[in-house]
Amino acid sequence: MSPNALIGEKSCEAVDGWQLHTFANLPSTNPVAGALSAWHAVRADVQTDGRGRTGRAWISDAGGLWLSAVLPAPGPRKKWSILPLGAGWAVIEALREIDVTGLRLRWPNDILAGRRKLAGLLVEQFHPDNVVIGVGINIDNRPDALEASLAGRTIGVAELAGHPVSIETITRLTLGAFRRLQSLIEQDRFSEIAADINTRWGEARRVQLSLNGHPEPLTGYFRGVDPEGRLSFTDDHGTTHTLDASQVALLSEVS
Protein backbone atom coordinates (compact mmCIF):
# COMPACT_ATOMS: atom_id res chain seq x y z
CA MET A 1 0.00 0.00 0.00
CA SER A 2 1.31 3.49 -0.86
CA PRO A 3 2.40 5.60 2.14
CA ASN A 4 -0.15 8.20 0.94
CA ALA A 5 -3.07 5.73 0.94
CA LEU A 6 -6.21 6.61 2.95
CA ILE A 7 -8.36 4.06 4.80
CA GLY A 8 -11.19 2.76 2.63
CA GLU A 9 -10.03 4.14 -0.70
CA LYS A 10 -10.20 2.11 -3.94
CA SER A 11 -7.05 3.57 -5.43
CA CYS A 12 -4.35 6.17 -4.89
CA GLU A 13 -2.47 7.32 -7.98
CA ALA A 14 -0.32 10.17 -9.24
CA VAL A 15 -2.16 12.20 -11.90
CA ASP A 16 -0.30 15.13 -13.49
CA GLY A 17 1.32 16.30 -10.28
CA TRP A 18 -1.68 15.47 -8.10
CA GLN A 19 -2.15 12.58 -5.69
CA LEU A 20 -5.63 11.35 -6.50
CA HIS A 21 -7.56 9.25 -3.94
CA THR A 22 -10.61 7.45 -5.31
CA PHE A 23 -13.43 6.01 -3.16
CA ALA A 24 -16.51 3.98 -4.10
CA ASN A 25 -18.59 6.18 -1.84
CA LEU A 26 -18.20 8.92 0.71
CA PRO A 27 -20.68 11.23 2.43
CA SER A 28 -18.90 14.20 0.80
CA THR A 29 -15.44 14.52 -0.76
CA ASN A 30 -14.82 18.07 0.55
CA PRO A 31 -14.16 17.32 4.25
CA VAL A 32 -11.99 14.32 3.35
CA ALA A 33 -9.88 16.57 1.11
CA GLY A 34 -9.88 19.21 3.83
CA ALA A 35 -7.79 16.92 6.02
CA LEU A 36 -5.14 16.47 3.30
CA SER A 37 -2.26 18.66 2.17
CA ALA A 38 -1.95 20.63 -1.06
CA TRP A 39 -1.98 18.81 -4.40
CA HIS A 40 -4.08 15.93 -3.05
CA ALA A 41 -7.49 15.32 -4.58
CA VAL A 42 -10.38 13.08 -3.55
CA ARG A 43 -12.97 11.57 -5.90
CA ALA A 44 -15.97 9.39 -5.02
CA ASP A 45 -18.11 7.39 -7.45
CA VAL A 46 -21.11 8.25 -5.26
CA GLN A 47 -21.61 10.82 -2.49
CA THR A 48 -24.26 9.91 0.05
CA ASP A 49 -24.44 13.42 1.55
CA GLY A 50 -23.20 15.64 -1.30
CA ARG A 51 -23.28 19.31 -0.41
CA GLY A 52 -24.04 22.29 -2.60
CA ARG A 53 -23.67 26.03 -2.03
CA THR A 54 -25.89 27.88 0.45
CA GLY A 55 -26.51 24.70 2.46
CA ARG A 56 -28.33 22.83 -0.32
CA ALA A 57 -27.94 19.12 -0.94
CA TRP A 58 -26.12 18.06 -4.12
CA ILE A 59 -27.36 14.88 -5.79
CA SER A 60 -24.29 12.75 -6.44
CA ASP A 61 -25.41 9.51 -8.05
CA ALA A 62 -23.15 7.17 -10.03
CA GLY A 63 -21.97 8.49 -13.40
CA GLY A 64 -21.01 12.05 -12.41
CA LEU A 65 -17.71 13.51 -11.31
CA TRP A 66 -17.59 14.35 -7.60
CA LEU A 67 -14.12 15.69 -6.91
CA SER A 68 -12.38 17.84 -4.30
CA ALA A 69 -8.92 19.26 -4.93
CA VAL A 70 -6.64 20.88 -2.34
CA LEU A 71 -4.82 23.91 -3.73
CA PRO A 72 -2.09 25.82 -1.90
CA ALA A 73 -3.23 29.40 -1.20
CA PRO A 74 -0.26 31.07 0.50
CA GLY A 75 -0.08 34.73 1.45
CA PRO A 76 -2.89 37.22 2.03
CA ARG A 77 -6.40 35.78 2.02
CA LYS A 78 -7.70 38.60 -0.16
CA LYS A 79 -5.42 37.51 -3.00
CA TRP A 80 -7.28 34.18 -3.16
CA SER A 81 -10.82 35.58 -2.97
CA ILE A 82 -11.01 35.31 -6.78
CA LEU A 83 -10.27 31.58 -6.72
CA PRO A 84 -13.95 30.46 -6.57
CA LEU A 85 -14.73 32.62 -9.60
CA GLY A 86 -11.69 31.37 -11.50
CA ALA A 87 -12.54 27.76 -10.67
CA GLY A 88 -15.75 27.90 -12.72
CA TRP A 89 -13.78 29.26 -15.65
CA ALA A 90 -11.18 26.48 -15.17
CA VAL A 91 -13.88 23.80 -15.47
CA ILE A 92 -15.10 25.39 -18.72
CA GLU A 93 -11.51 25.36 -20.00
CA ALA A 94 -11.12 21.68 -19.05
CA LEU A 95 -14.30 20.70 -20.91
CA ARG A 96 -13.23 22.69 -23.97
CA GLU A 97 -10.40 20.16 -24.31
CA ILE A 98 -12.97 17.46 -25.10
CA ASP A 99 -14.79 19.83 -27.46
CA VAL A 100 -17.65 20.62 -25.11
CA THR A 101 -18.06 24.33 -25.88
CA GLY A 102 -20.65 27.10 -25.60
CA LEU A 103 -20.90 26.76 -21.81
CA ARG A 104 -21.60 29.79 -19.67
CA LEU A 105 -21.01 30.89 -16.10
CA ARG A 106 -23.70 31.97 -13.66
CA TRP A 107 -22.38 33.91 -10.69
CA PRO A 108 -20.22 32.94 -9.00
CA ASN A 109 -19.30 29.64 -10.57
CA ASP A 110 -22.26 27.58 -11.77
CA ILE A 111 -21.64 26.16 -15.22
CA LEU A 112 -24.62 26.02 -17.52
CA ALA A 113 -25.49 24.97 -21.04
CA GLY A 114 -28.26 27.46 -21.85
CA ARG A 115 -30.45 27.36 -18.74
CA ARG A 116 -29.53 23.81 -17.71
CA LYS A 117 -26.95 23.23 -15.00
CA LEU A 118 -23.95 21.12 -15.94
CA ALA A 119 -21.66 21.66 -12.95
CA GLY A 120 -21.33 23.47 -9.65
CA LEU A 121 -18.56 24.28 -7.23
CA LEU A 122 -18.31 24.44 -3.47
CA VAL A 123 -15.08 26.13 -2.41
CA GLU A 124 -14.16 25.77 1.25
CA GLN A 125 -11.20 26.59 3.45
CA PHE A 126 -10.33 24.02 6.13
CA HIS A 127 -6.75 25.22 6.68
CA PRO A 128 -5.35 28.78 6.43
CA ASP A 129 -2.82 27.94 3.70
CA ASN A 130 -5.03 25.75 1.47
CA VAL A 131 -8.31 25.98 -0.37
CA VAL A 132 -10.52 23.00 -1.24
CA ILE A 133 -12.32 23.26 -4.56
CA GLY A 134 -15.20 20.79 -4.62
CA VAL A 135 -16.59 20.31 -8.09
CA GLY A 136 -19.61 18.34 -9.21
CA ILE A 137 -19.97 17.72 -12.96
CA ASN A 138 -22.94 15.83 -14.37
CA ILE A 139 -21.68 13.39 -16.99
CA ASP A 140 -24.13 10.56 -17.70
CA ASN A 141 -25.90 10.52 -14.34
CA ARG A 142 -29.52 11.66 -14.05
CA PRO A 143 -30.11 13.91 -11.03
CA ASP A 144 -33.69 14.47 -12.19
CA ALA A 145 -34.42 10.74 -11.83
CA LEU A 146 -33.82 11.19 -8.08
CA GLU A 147 -35.27 14.68 -7.70
CA ALA A 148 -38.31 15.37 -9.86
CA SER A 149 -38.06 19.16 -9.40
CA LEU A 150 -34.82 19.08 -11.42
CA ALA A 151 -36.59 17.84 -14.57
CA GLY A 152 -35.34 19.86 -17.55
CA ARG A 153 -32.95 21.87 -15.35
CA THR A 154 -29.78 19.77 -15.56
CA ILE A 155 -27.65 18.37 -18.37
CA GLY A 156 -24.65 16.07 -18.59
CA VAL A 157 -21.34 16.14 -20.44
CA ALA A 158 -22.20 12.92 -22.31
CA GLU A 159 -25.31 14.52 -23.88
CA LEU A 160 -23.37 17.66 -24.84
CA ALA A 161 -20.40 15.74 -26.25
CA GLY A 162 -22.67 13.32 -28.11
CA HIS A 163 -20.50 10.39 -27.11
CA PRO A 164 -19.43 8.68 -23.86
CA VAL A 165 -16.68 10.47 -21.95
CA SER A 166 -14.81 8.79 -19.12
CA ILE A 167 -14.83 10.20 -15.62
CA GLU A 168 -11.07 9.60 -15.48
CA THR A 169 -10.48 11.87 -18.51
CA ILE A 170 -12.57 14.70 -17.08
CA THR A 171 -10.88 14.27 -13.69
CA ARG A 172 -7.43 14.64 -15.25
CA LEU A 173 -8.41 17.67 -17.36
CA THR A 174 -10.10 19.37 -14.42
CA LEU A 175 -7.15 18.85 -12.09
CA GLY A 176 -4.83 20.21 -14.80
CA ALA A 177 -7.00 23.32 -15.22
CA PHE A 178 -7.08 23.90 -11.43
CA ARG A 179 -3.28 23.68 -11.32
CA ARG A 180 -2.95 26.31 -14.07
CA LEU A 181 -5.45 28.57 -12.31
CA GLN A 182 -3.59 28.29 -9.00
CA SER A 183 -0.36 29.27 -10.72
CA LEU A 184 -1.95 32.31 -12.42
CA ILE A 185 -3.37 33.62 -9.14
CA GLU A 186 -0.17 32.89 -7.22
CA GLN A 187 1.77 34.95 -9.78
CA ASP A 188 -0.82 37.80 -9.62
CA ARG A 189 -1.78 37.17 -13.25
CA PHE A 190 -5.58 36.90 -12.81
CA SER A 191 -6.00 39.97 -15.06
CA GLU A 192 -4.87 37.79 -18.00
CA ILE A 193 -8.03 35.70 -17.76
CA ALA A 194 -10.55 38.32 -16.57
CA ALA A 195 -11.51 39.28 -20.14
CA ASP A 196 -12.00 35.64 -21.10
CA ILE A 197 -14.10 35.03 -17.98
CA ASN A 198 -16.31 37.95 -19.02
CA THR A 199 -17.04 36.29 -22.35
CA ARG A 200 -18.49 33.35 -20.39
CA TRP A 201 -21.33 35.21 -18.69
CA GLY A 202 -23.24 35.50 -21.97
CA GLU A 203 -25.25 38.68 -22.58
CA ALA A 204 -25.70 41.20 -19.72
CA ARG A 205 -28.29 39.63 -17.46
CA ARG A 206 -30.88 41.17 -15.24
CA VAL A 207 -30.12 40.05 -11.72
CA GLN A 208 -31.08 40.47 -8.10
CA LEU A 209 -28.12 41.15 -5.86
CA SER A 210 -28.03 40.63 -2.09
CA LEU A 211 -25.06 42.05 -0.25
CA ASN A 212 -23.77 40.77 3.07
CA GLY A 213 -25.17 42.95 5.85
CA HIS A 214 -27.76 44.66 3.61
CA PRO A 215 -31.33 43.40 4.06
CA GLU A 216 -32.75 44.88 0.84
CA PRO A 217 -31.67 43.22 -2.43
CA LEU A 218 -30.81 45.40 -5.42
CA THR A 219 -31.92 44.76 -8.97
CA GLY A 220 -30.02 45.72 -12.08
CA TYR A 221 -27.55 44.33 -14.58
CA PHE A 222 -24.49 42.20 -13.94
CA ARG A 223 -21.64 43.52 -16.12
CA GLY A 224 -18.85 41.02 -15.42
CA VAL A 225 -15.64 41.23 -13.42
CA ASP A 226 -12.75 43.69 -13.47
CA PRO A 227 -9.06 42.65 -13.77
CA GLU A 228 -8.92 42.17 -9.97
CA GLY A 229 -11.94 39.85 -10.07
CA ARG A 230 -14.38 42.40 -8.56
CA LEU A 231 -17.96 42.25 -9.74
CA SER A 232 -19.41 45.13 -11.73
CA PHE A 233 -23.14 45.76 -11.26
CA THR A 234 -25.32 48.61 -12.53
CA ASP A 235 -28.42 49.14 -10.41
CA ASP A 236 -31.82 50.31 -11.64
CA HIS A 237 -30.89 53.94 -10.80
CA GLY A 238 -27.96 53.73 -13.23
CA THR A 239 -25.26 53.62 -10.52
CA THR A 240 -22.43 51.16 -11.19
CA HIS A 241 -21.03 49.35 -8.15
CA THR A 242 -17.71 47.52 -8.03
CA LEU A 243 -17.85 44.80 -5.40
CA ASP A 244 -15.45 42.27 -3.96
CA ALA A 245 -16.79 38.73 -4.35
CA SER A 246 -16.78 38.36 -0.54
CA GLN A 247 -19.34 41.22 -0.25
CA VAL A 248 -21.88 39.36 -2.39
CA ALA A 249 -24.27 37.08 -0.49
CA LEU A 250 -26.36 36.08 -3.49
CA LEU A 251 -26.66 37.05 -7.12
CA SER A 252 -29.52 35.42 -8.95
CA GLU A 253 -30.76 35.83 -12.50
CA VAL A 254 -34.21 37.38 -12.84
CA SER A 255 -36.05 35.87 -15.77
**Closest CB to ligand BTN among residues 10, 56:** 56
Q: Which is nearer to ligand BTN, 42 or 185 (CB)?
A: 42
CB of 107 to ligand BTN, least distance (A): 12
Distance CA 137, CA 151 (A): 17
Contacts of 128 (CB under 8 A, 6+ apart): none
- Least distance CB 188 / ligand BTN (angstroms): 27
Q: Which residues bind ligand BTN (CB under 6 A)?
A: 28-30, 47, 50-53, 56, 58, 60, 66-68, 110, 120-122, 134-136
Angle in degrees, CA 103, 91, 228, rounded to 5: 95
Q: 11: how many CB neighbours lie within 10 A of its CB? A: 11
Position of minimal CB gap to ligand BTN: 120
Taking the least distance from each CB to ligand BTN, the nearer of 28 and 81 is 28
User: ∠39-139-91 over CA atoms, to 5°?
Assistant: 45
Shortest Å, Cβ 3 to ligand BTN: 25
Nearer to ligand BTN by Cβ, of 23 and 80: the residue is: 23
Choose between 153 and 206: whose C-beta lies nearer to ligand BTN.
153
Cα–Cα nearest to 13, from 175, 129, 122: 175
**Nearer to ligand BTN by C-beta: 67 or 220?**
67
Distance from chain centroid for Cα 157: 15
AA letter at 182: Q
| Contact predicate 140/156, CB 8 Å | yes
Question: DSSP per residue over 144-190, as a string?
Answer: HHH-GGGTTTB--HHHHHTS---HHHHHHHHHHHHHHHHHHHHTT-T
Q: What's the min distance (Å) between Cβ of 7 and ligand BTN? A: 19
Separation between Cα atoms, residue 226 and residue 66, nearest integer Å: 30
Give least dist CB 64 to ligand BTN, A. 8
Q: Please name which of 84, 41, 88 lies closest in space to residue 245, comparing C-alpha atoms.
A: 84
To ligand BTN, the closest distance from the beta carbon of 238 in angstroms equals 32
Residue 51 vs 230, nearer CB to ligand BTN: 51
Min. distance of Cβ 134 from ligand BTN in angstroms?
A: 3
